[in-house]
Amino acid sequence: MTALPAPRGDRVVELSRDGLHARLSEALSLYVRAMGYPPATVEQRAPMWLAHMLREDWRCVAALGEDDTLLGVCYGYRGGAGQWWHEQVRRGLTSVASPELVDEWMRDYFELTELHVRPDAQGRGIGETLLRRLLDGVDADRVLLSTPEGPSKAWRLYRRVGFVDVLRHYQFTGDPRPFAVLGRILPVS
């Protein structure tokens, strides 16, 4: 782990695959709390997070409190054909956009897969710090992410950092909630 400066006395560190694996239970518990999911979601998501760690250009940053507890976690990787999320988004975009626009967004992108801050640590700039640190130096033309529709702290963060609508009110297979796919050109300044 490489320590990086963080807001208000917290530390932001880069986590290797082994580093996140060692903290996976804590990270998934944070994820469940931040998203308001049932605790059993941890068991369902663990294999997915482990599989994501093997993807091309995977990287992860985390915010740690003074007592070394996990306050936030953010990871992503290079998106591409054959990945579940890529295929879902391509299908959704194809139904509403020109082939040129679909190819423009889906050609060379980094997928911001997860960004979560513990509810009691939100509002301190941790989410934005994690997002900017994760994307710093990413070698891709764009970054894409999906987030549930509706007003939230996450939406305000993404808009503040310059993300625009790519696809709205999309329903991913297996989730009844509507999602938005947001994107922006890299680098983030």
What residue numbers bound the domain in which 103 lies?
2-185
The helix or strand, by DSSP H or E, that contains position 60, with its residue range, turns out to be strand 59-64
> What is the domain count for the chain?
1
pLDDT per residue as tens digits for the range 11-30: 999 999 999 999 999 999 99
Structure token pair of residue 164? 């625009």
37 catalytic per annotation: no
Whole-model pTM: value is: 0.92
Say which of 31, 77, 109, 158 is annotated catalytic: 158
For residue 7, pLDDT beyond 60: no
For residue 6, pLDDT beyond 90: no
Q: Which long-range contacts (CB under 8 A, 24 or more apart) does 175-178 make?
A: 177/148, 177/149, 178/148, 178/149
Per-position DSSP letters for 124-158, written without gaps between them:
SSHHHHHHHHHHTT--SSEEEEEEESS--HHHHHH
What percentage of residues in the chain have a pLDDT greater than 90? 89
**116: CATH:** 3.40.630.30
For residue 82, pLDDT beyond 70: yes
pLDDT per residue as tens digits for the range 139-152: 999 999 999 998 89
Candidates 41, 10, 19, 15; CA nearest to 28 is 41
- 175 in Cβ contact with 133 (< 8 Å): no
Q: Measured between alpha carbons, how far is 50 from 17 in angstroms, rounded to an integer?
A: 9
